[in-house]
Chain A
């Protein structure tokens, strides 16, 4: 099963999954037994009755599961309500088929409506139960998604930086050392578990290391203006949410330009919220540059997983500059 399918929480359960098949078998039989138990007074009679019921139930159940198994990939592609409707319809159709087929020749198939009602109830209950199970596991899904979203620096940045360091080793060994230290710090954060919040202070230090490295490559073509006077340095935030935005600003706003470009990093506290704004020269022809919106979507999705609707991130073009603005709740590391 592909990862993608794992993540589509909004689809019917995968009927090729052993757990789902087993739960369905046990669940439907338990339902039948409970019904038998409720209908007659003592255990013995109930058991007898269950055996009778099972003789009609099992073939229908087995057939339905077999067909669901065969159709599982197609069902997985449907929206939940479509898939659910398909499952119920299948259960109904197959039960009806078996009901009619098992009726004695010449005898009218009586009680068809009752069979259908029972099949529908069983199918709906099972679907609801499996739905609840998926919901219960969804935090794990979110966790997995967070890990998959762990921010990634563009590979070309790493190789360009290494190349720049190589060029420094003979001319300016000390600067080469500093650059490698910056690179090490950056990658330490990149590779660590990015699900724990960090103080803004750490994030700013990281941005500075990152800019040092970019400066090494781009020299005077890059100037970064830091507006951090009102930055709440104790604010907690998910790590590596600002760096991808700064990287984007340089990748799209400075690197493609022949002239020098200025990037402004503004971070401030606004009441109970932290505001971060990064803006860079807007270069319209940049739409076709690789990975245009990926970093932004990645940060947006991580913010949403961490803060749900409490964070927002917006982009706009104003006065020839491309602006990314991000807002999240302020939470102090000292609280």
Chain B
């Protein structure tokens, strides 16, 4: 049960934002689990690279653009901390996911090197935790 009282016109962008956030969280977890498991099964590197490119990044785009859309409608007064956390995690995700996608592709092209997929595991692990923190902050809206 999401926030109870809101104009109907906010529903569609909110739905896209929440759906994008859920999918980006799951796809980031998939990339993390695949990257960690690829130490034992190196062929998983291709699964990780495809997941980042075809699932994680498109879902991030949906979450971020729909978030901007609903922010333009809500016109939230002041600059509450929970909103700042959401923007920080959202915008940092762009850089982190671009780097992870490049390293994921490198790990497939240069299978003899193990550090790129290791770095993908670290980046996706950190970003997964950041997404969970953002979910808690944006749902609980502490301080508002």
Q: Do A and B come from one complex?
A: no
Residue numbers of B with Cβ under 8 A of A are: none
Residue numbers of A with Cβ under 8 A of B are: none
